[in-house]
């Protein structure tokens, strides 16, 4: 049985001007993961990363810590969706970060208010009734993730392991599509997913693709549970 380990990137620079860059904690998370995978005897035949900076930095730190001498294949189909485009299509005034922050602060529960707003924005995107408002439609996003997953699966031999470094959206859609789920399932899977966590899809000629693991971040817990972050 072969398997794909789907890795969510380490913590990015949330709230900073350059979000697409690992925070110091994100760098540590990626290194801890690499050390843990090597200790478990995992030696991937294939290592793939999306093209975003936070994904590339994660795979670099992970492979270095693991001591893997393997070429990393960059596939932009594993890139995250454009959350800013989704938000501004829903709330055009939020092209200004200042306006958005001011609105959220006025609620006295800014994080909760952001999550409620973002869920509505994601539903609007996923419904597909306003596709002209988005640089990438929901169906285009899910289609490219499914194609990227199929490409990795097709390249694996019996008992091979692939490690894919990507983001929460593609990880959870790969799981959702394998489970035959819907956008509601996809959304729910994203909320608790931890930075540098590992989700697993196995495949064989007998069973086809199966979800065998979700959001494993035990490598962080054994060092310090406070290292686990979701944004």
The tens-digit pLDDT sequence of the chain (231 residues) is 999 999 999 999 766 666 789 999 999 999 999 999 999 999 999 999 999 999 999 999 999 999 999 999 999 999 999 999 999 999 999 998 889 889 889 989 988 898 899 899 999 999 999 999 999 999 999 999 999 999 999 999 999 999 999 999 999 999 999 999 999 999 999 999 999 999 999 999 889 999 999 999 999 999 999 999 998
Task: Please indicate, yes or no, whether residues 97 and 163 belong to a single structural domain of this protein.
Answer: no
Task: Please indicate, yes or no, whether residues 62 and 161 belong to a single structural domain of this protein.
Answer: yes
Q: At what angle do helices 183-190 and 168-179 cross, to 10 degrees?
A: 140
Task: Please indicate, yes or no, whether residues 35 and 76 belong to a single structural domain of this protein.
Answer: yes
Task: Please indicate, yes or no, whether residues 104 and 114 belong to a single structural domain of this protein.
Answer: yes
48: domain CATH number is 3.40.50.1240
Report the largest interatomic distance among the alpha carbons of the chain, rounded to a whole angstrom. 56
Which of 120, 135, 150 is the last residue before a domain boundary?
135
Task: Please indicate, yes or no, whether residues 147 and 196 belong to a single structural domain of this protein.
Answer: yes
**CA-only gyration radius of the chain, Å:** 18
Task: Please indicate, yes or no, whether residues 102 and 205 belong to a single structural domain of this protein.
Answer: no
Domain count, the chain: 2
- Cα separation, 3 vs 85, in Å, equals 33
Task: Please indicate, yes or no, whether residues 119 and 142 belong to a single structural domain of this protein.
Answer: no
| Structural domain for 55, as ranges | 2-80+138-227
Task: Please indicate, yes or no, whether residues 147 and 216 belong to a single structural domain of this protein.
Answer: yes
Task: Please indicate, yes or no, whether residues 38 and 142 belong to a single structural domain of this protein.
Answer: yes
- Cα separation, 202 vs 169, in Å, equals 19
Burial class (CB in 10 A: 0-12, 13-18, 19+), 34: buried
Task: Please indicate, yes or no, whether residues 189 and 98 belong to a single structural domain of this protein.
Answer: no
Task: Please indicate, yes or no, whether residues 117 and 173 belong to a single structural domain of this protein.
Answer: no
Task: Please indicate, yes or no, whether residues 159 and 73 belong to a single structural domain of this protein.
Answer: yes
């Amino acid at each position: 049985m072969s398997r794909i380990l789907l890795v969510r990137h380490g913590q990015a620079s949330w709230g900073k001007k350059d979000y697409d860059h690992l925070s110091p904690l994100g760098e540590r998370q990626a290194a801890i993961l690499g050390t843990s995978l090597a200790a478990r005897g995992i030696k991937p035949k294939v290592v793939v990363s999306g093209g975003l900076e936070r994904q590339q930095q994660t795979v670099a730190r992970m492979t270095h810590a693991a001591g893997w001498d393997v070429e990393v294949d960059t596939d932009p189909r594993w890139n995250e969706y454009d959350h800013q485009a989704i938000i501004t299509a829903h709330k055009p005034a939020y092209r200004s970060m200042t306006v958005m922050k001011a609105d959220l602060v006025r609620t006295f529960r800014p994080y909760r208010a952001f999550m409620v707003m973002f869920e509505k924005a994601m539903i609007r995107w996923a419904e597909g009734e306003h596709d002209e408002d988005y640089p990438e439609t929901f169906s285009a996003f899910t289609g490219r993730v499914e194609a990227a997953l199929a490409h990795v699966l097709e390249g694996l031999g019996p008992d091979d392991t692939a490690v894919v470094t990507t983001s929460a959206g593609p990880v959870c859609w790969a799981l959702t599509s394998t489970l035959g789920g819907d956008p509601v399932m996809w959304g729910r899977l994203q909320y608790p997913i931890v930075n540098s966590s590992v989700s697993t899809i196995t495949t064989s000629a007998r069973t086809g693709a199966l979800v065998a693991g979700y959001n494993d971040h035990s490598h962080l817990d054994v060092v310090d549970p406070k290292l686990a972050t979701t944004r």
